[in-house]
Amino acid sequence: GNSVTQMEGPVTLSEEAFLTINCTYTATGYPSLFWYVQYPGEGLQLLLKATKADDKGSNKGFEATYRKETTSFHLEKGSVQVSDSAVYFCALSESPEYGNKLVFGAGTILRVKS
Amino acid sequence: GAGVSQSPRYKVAKRGQDVALRCDPISGHVSLFWYQQALGQGPEFLTYFQNEAQLDKSGLPSDRFFAERPEGSVSTLKIQRTQQEDSAVYLCASSPIPQGYEQYFGPGTRLTVT
């Protein structure tokens, strides 16, 4: 079945450092790809998405590019802030026949120190 | 506007008790999803509704789990004869379109079975 694998955390960075969180997927067909973020005490929020190969999703300084050849969707940010500390989930959506249910990775904890 | 709300936010149940978890989706949202998130893991799909029709219940772990959405808005996830392995956060998400392409998550209900 479809699956998502993302790098284990926690990832600890200093403020203004460069961030990469790796995500790879296994899927039949052509899924859409997402990054969700969960801030402490809050619900999951959509951070960015990409619907087809070579699409780049971006939001709040975060970017991820849908790479079909490497089945990857790595999350990057050029300069992290303390407020970026959260848990980040990579996800794919399965066939619309099944309501586009999401398949999530295990999540990566990001801690940013000032 | 109001987001997805869930109640209760926290529930402690003794093993063998029945519980009911409520989800109020964003008004007018057609699609509704339930996910289960174990500690330190990503959410896992349980079931999907399009309006009042339950179109996919492939993720429900056993026949002790039951979900309904009788009028196409509020949904209830019921767990009968709770077991310790049912301890998790139960997330509800809604989407404005039938295939649920972008999902908006509620804060979750944390269920602890003792």
Res. B105: pLDDT tops 90: yes
pLDDT at B97: 78
pLDDT at A24: 98
Nearest CA among B43, B91, B100, B41 for reference residue B67: B91
Find chain B residues with C-beta within 8 A of A96's C-beta. 99
> What is the average per-residue pLDDT within A97-113?
89
Per-residue three-class SS string for chain A: CCEEEECCCCEEEECCCCEEECEEEECCCCCEEEEEEECCCCCEEEEEEECCCCCEEEECCEEEECECCCCECCEEECCCCHHHCEEEEEEEECCHHHCCCEEECCCEEEEEEC
Searching chain B, which residue's CA lies closest to the CA of residue A9? B40
Give the pLDDT confidence of B5-17 residue by residue, as tens digits. Answer: 999 999 999 999 9
pLDDT at B100: 62
A93 contacts B43? CB cut-off 8 A: no
Searching chain B, which residue's CA lies closest to the CA of residue A93? B101
Res. B2: pLDDT tops 90: no
Give the pLDDT confidence of B57-91 residue by residue, as tens digits. Answer: 999 999 999 999 999 999 999 999 999 999 999 99
Q: How many whole angstroms separate alpha carbon B60 and alpha carbon A44?
A: 21
Q: How many whole angstroms separate alpha carbon B19 and alpha carbon B71?
A: 21
Instruction: Return all residues near A52 (Cβ < 8 A) that are at least 6 apart.
Output: A30, A32, A66
pLDDT at B1: 58
A104 contacts B44? CB cut-off 8 A: yes
> What is the average per-residue pLDDT within A49-69?
95
Q: How many whole angstroms separate alpha carbon A1 and alpha carbon A37?
A: 24
pLDDT at A58: 97
Nearest CA distance, A79 vs chain B (angstrom): 26
pLDDT at A41: 82
pLDDT at A94: 75
Q: How many whole angstroms separate alpha carbon A85 and alpha carbon A75?
A: 14
pLDDT at A85: 97
pLDDT at A19: 97
- Average model confidence (pLDDT) across chain A: 93
Higher pLDDT residue, A100 or B86?
A: B86
Q: How many whole angstroms separate alpha carbon A63 and alpha carbon A68?
A: 16
Handedness of CA B48, A51, B95, A58 (dihedral sign): positive
Give the pLDDT confidence of A9-36 residue by residue, as tens digits. Answer: 899 999 999 999 999 999 988 889 999 9
Q: What percent of chain A shows pLDDT beyond 70?
A: 96
Res. B101: pLDDT tops 80: no
Q: How many whole angstroms separate alpha carbon A93 and alpha carbon B101?
A: 8
Res. A43: pLDDT tops 90: no
A106 contacts B42? CB cut-off 8 A: yes
Res. A44: pLDDT tops 80: yes
Q: What percent of chain B shows pLDDT beyond 90?
A: 90
Determine phi and psi for A103, rounding to 5 degrees.
Answer: -110, 120
A42 contacts B45? CB cut-off 8 A: no
